[in-house]
Amino acid sequence: MKSNKKPQTKNHIKNISQTLALGLGIFIVSNTTNALNDIDPNDPYRHMYEHLTEVGIIFTPDGNFYPHNYMTRAEALTVAMRAGGRGATEYDGDPGFSDVDPNEWYAPIVDAALNQKIINNNPNFRPTQSVTKAEFLAFLFRATNVDFGPYFTRKRGVATDVPQDSWFAPHFAYAKQFQIAHLPADDLYFPHKYLSRKEIGIMTYRQLKIHHGDNTTKKFVELQGQIQRFLSLIRDQKHNEAEFYLHRILEINDEIVRTKNGSDALAARALSNAMTHLTDSLRFMRYERTLGALENLMLALKQAERASKLSQTLKPFADELGSVVREMLLQVTDSSYMASR
């Protein structure tokens, strides 16, 4: 229940109008510059930051993104609400938490999130504290209407540091399937880690693709996530675990090919072929069959390069896979050369 205290009225109307504009930011183009002066032009995530600023989900009033700055809970909740297209509606001047100043810019957003059950009715909201990964994923997924039903049965073995009985286990089960939050090869999610603007931007962008996309888009996002996990495990030399992910990659690829035509489908097929050849090469290496390993690595590289040319969507993953294959080719040829001396 909301508190019965009377809010201060100073700047009240101004705060409501400002927050309404911020809350509806997903539907408008920000008036601020999107120069992103502090982001390298070659940064692989720059296009994500640009999109988020262009649609007003994350503001950059001075032209800087500040990727390494932490976000507060109030800021992170505002990003999640904008991502879900949820604006501040009628604000009665009482945000519902004893530690939220009713005249702060974020008060109407907190009030709207409470009314829409994005956040729980706890005594305190802690608006100025840095947001954790678990907290932000909860904000984001609730605001974008994720159905957690299927994920309550997938809580076991999500990650080493995500207990099965934790409140956030279903959130991370969903995040793992689509790699909204990337799970490294060490199998640690660090759910209580504070998040930077960079991390929040990447997670928000990935979830937006699912939220606004069709079923095929969702499959592509899952494919990209599974490929990312596969590559992390390969780089960490966890080949058996990587092979487990390959099976799911092939399943998703078949689903995409059946429902989608064009270069993206062809690229998906080429990429899955590349990963199949890569895992075959690992099997040959295990039994010291160097020629078989080399042959499959060359085929993997050819397929990865083909996927890179066919699809801009899958190009980053195809290029990374190509890089992994080239590293392995160097290792195999070097060991083969040394063994022949």
Summarize pLDDT for 117-126 with one digit per residue, the tens: 999 988 899 9
Q: Is the pLDDT of residue 19 over 60?
A: no
* Model confidence pLDDT, tens digit, residues 108-167: 999 999 999 999 988 899 999 999 999 999 999 999 999 999 999 888 889 999 999 999
Q: Residue 208: is its pLDDT beyond 50?
A: yes
pLDDT per position as a tens digit, 273-318: 998 998 888 888 777 788 998 999 999 999 999 999 998 888 888 8
In the prediction, which pLDDT does 144 show?
97
Task: Give yes or no for residue 99 having a pLDDT over 60.
Answer: yes
How is residue 126 written in tokens? 């802690």
Phi and psi at residue 159, in whole multiples of 5°? -160, 160
Instruction: Domain count for the chain, please give it.
Output: 2
Q: Which two tokens stand for residue 5?
A: 């205290």
- 250 and 186: one domain? no
Query: For residue 66, is it left (φ>0), alpha (ψ between -120 and 50) or beta?
Result: left
- Polymer length of the chain: 341
| Average pLDDT, integer, range 171-187 | 91
Question: Do residue 103 and residue 250 come from a single domain?
Answer: no
Query: φ and ψ at 113, to 5 degrees?
Result: -65, -35
Q: Is the pLDDT of residue 339 over 60?
A: no
Cβ atoms within 10 A of the Cβ of 281, count? 25
- Among candidates 208, 306, 314, which has minimal Cα distance to 252? 314
**Same domain as 177, residue 71:** yes
Where do we find the tokens 């969702």? 218
Average pLDDT over all residues of the chain = 83
pLDDT at 230 over 70: yes
- What are the residue ranges of helices labelled H in 26-72? 46-54
Q: Which of 172, 177, 182 is nearest to 203 (CA)?
A: 182
Is 4 part of a structural domain of the chain?
no
CB of 103 closer than 8 Å to CB of 133: no
At residue 302, the pLDDT reads 95
63-94: pLDDT as tens digits: 999 999 999 999 999 999 999 999 777 888 88
- DSSP lists the bridge partners of residue 159 as 162
Q: What number is the average pLDDT over the span 202-210? A: 93
Contact call for residues 68 and 130 (beta carbons, < 8 A): no
Q: Which two tokens stand for residue 210?
A: 């699912």
**Are 36 and 49 spatial neighbours (Cβ–Cβ below 8 Å)?**
yes
Give the residue-averaged pLDDT of 1-9.
42
* 3-class DSSP state of 27: helix
pLDDT of the residue at 74: 97
- Specify the pLDDT at position 2: 52
- Is there a single domain that holds both residue 77 and residue 122? yes
Confidence of residue 196 (pLDDT cuts 50, 70, 90): very high
Three-state DSSP at 65 gives coil
Question: Pseudo-torsion of CA 126, 92, 141, 316, nearest 10°?
Answer: -90
* Domain termination residue (choose one: 172, 188, 209): 209
From 194, 209, 224, the end of a domain falls on 209
Q: What is the pTM of this model?
A: 0.74
Residue 40: its pLDDT value, please? 93
Print the domain residue range for 233: 214-340
Q: Are residues 203 and 218 in the same domain?
A: no
Q: In sequence order, which ranges of the chain are alpha helices (DSSP H)?
A: 12-23, 46-54, 73-83, 107-115, 133-143, 169-178, 197-212, 215-235, 239-259, 263-286, 290-310, 315-340
One domain, residues 316 and 224: yes
| Residue written as token pair 């999500």 | 158
Q: Residue 36 in contact with residue 46, Cβ under 8 Å?
A: yes
* pLDDT recorded at residue 172: 96
pLDDT at site 275:
86
130 phi and psi angles, rounded to 5 deg: -65, 145
> Do 177 and 274 belong to one domain?
no
pLDDT at residue 330 in the model: 80
